Amino acid sequence: MPSITTVHDSLPYIDPEPTASERAAAEALISQERSLVPDDPDHALLPPTINPHFSPAIEAELSRIASKQPLAAIDLTRYEAPDDTPAPSDLPTALERAYASATYLRARRAHLALLDSYGKNAWNRAQEEVSGDIKSLEETWKRGVGRVLETEVATETLRREVLEVRRKMA
């Protein structure tokens, strides 16, 4: 039984890697089950796998993930309050961080207040603006599903006619 499609039943960022004995036991179970079912002759007809061509940024990210390095994202420490009272030499840095944090929080509070006041209306207005498009897409989808059902009925009718002709010929 060849594996034409790959299904991952694990969460690689949550599940731990299996131990060597667990992996060996799983591979033994797989080989035992594969020996019960003959290989599918059609899987050789599938096209060869495509070698992906990733951009340098994607290649760098994939190599970072493969080496299990943490993501070096935005440094949020500038928005955090200092733990202790800083030494006089560290005071300018602490004040810069406090100012950045206060500015960020002030802007965030203003944006949340605007969202609370006008967000519902803006969302409703945006939905009303695209309601015609949504209805048009829904009607197109319904017509497409209807055509698929008509095709299935026609196919079943033809299949029955073919079976009837074969019965008469036999």
pTM: 0.34
Tell me the CA distances in angstroms from 141 to 27, 41, 61, 123, 138, one per residue in order.
45, 37, 38, 25, 5
Regarding predicted confidence, which is higher, 17 or 107?
Answer: 107
Angle value at C-alpha 44, between 38 and 47, nearest 5 degrees: 145
Would you list the domain boundaries of the chain? Answer: 135-170
Nearest Cα to Cα of residue 52 among 65, 62, 66: 62
Least confident segment among 78-82, 129-133, 160-164? 78-82
* pLDDT higher at 82 or 144: 144
Q: What is the pLDDT of residues 25-69, one digit of tens each?
A: 999 998 888 888 777 766 767 777 788 899 999 999 999 999 999
Q: Look at residue 1 and tell me whether its pLDDT is greater than 50.
A: no
